[in-house]
Amino acid sequence: MNKIHMLVFDWDGTLMDSADQIVHCMQIAADDCRVTIPTAAAVQGIIGLGLPEALEILFPDLNAMRRHLIRTRYAWHFVAGTGGESRMFPGAKDMLFTLKAKGYRMTIATGKSRMGLDRVLQMNGLETFFHATRCADETISKPHPLMLEQLLHKFKAQPQNALMIGDSTYDMDMAQRIGMPRIGVTYGVHPAADLLAFEPLQLLDSIEALAAWLGSL
C-alpha cells in the first residue's frame, strides 16, 4: 500500500454513536408532519447522505415543501435532544489525538450540515482539531466524490496517499470512485456484506480494532 499521509473520517456511525438519535428524530419529525413514519431500518439506510437526499429516499411521494417541513422538524428535535443524545464512541477521541500526534492530516467528510458538524465538534472540544472538513450542504452529497476531491486539492494530495474510514456504503462508494483506499467499520449502520462490495482494505468491528490497524500503518 502507498504511504498514507491523510486520514478522512466519516462522522456519524464512525466516530459518533448517533444512529439511534437520527432514527428517533426522523420518526418524530414524520409524526409531527402526519406522514407515514419510516422504519428504523429505512432511516439507518440513509445515514451518511445529505439530509435533502435522504428525505427524497424516505419520502419519495412528498413534494419539496412537505419534505422541507420534515427537515425543519428533524433539525429541531435533533438539537433539542427530544430523540435522545449522541456520544462519540468510547476510545474514538483518544484514537484521533494519537493519530494526529503521529503527523497525519486529519479530515472529515460527512453527510452532516456545516452547522451540525460545527456544533458537535464544539460540544466535543474538537472545533480546532481537524485540518479540514467537508459537509454535504457545502459540496455534493455522498456517494459523489467531490468532497474527497476538495480535501485532496486543499492539501495537494493524491487519492492513493489518503485513506477513507467509514461505516456506510456511501463512504466506500465515493472513495472507490476516485481510487482512494478505504477501511470499513462494521459497528455503524451498514452491514459488513454491503461494505465488502466496495473492496475495502479491511473491515473492522470496533474502535479498538480500528485504532490498532491505523497504528500499524
- What CATH number does the domain containing 123 carry? 3.40.50.1000
pTM of the shown model: 0.94
Q: Is 1 part of a structural domain of the chain?
A: no
State how far the Cα of 111 lies from the Cα of 54, in Å rounded to an integer.
10
Structural domain boundaries, residue 54? 19-80
- pLDDT, tens only, 7-63: 999 999 999 999 999 999 999 999 999 999 999 999 999 999 999 999 999 999 999
Q: Does residue 173 contact residue 155 with C-beta atoms inside 8 Å?
A: no
SS3 (DSSP) at 108: strand
SS3 (DSSP) at 130: coil
Count the domains in the chain.
Answer: 2
User: What is the pLDDT at residue 190?
Assistant: 94
State how far the Cα of 155 lies from the Cα of 109, in Å rounded to an integer.
14
- pLDDT, tens only, 65-91: 999 999 999 999 999 988 889 999 999
Distance separating the N- and C-terminal Cα atoms of the chain: 9
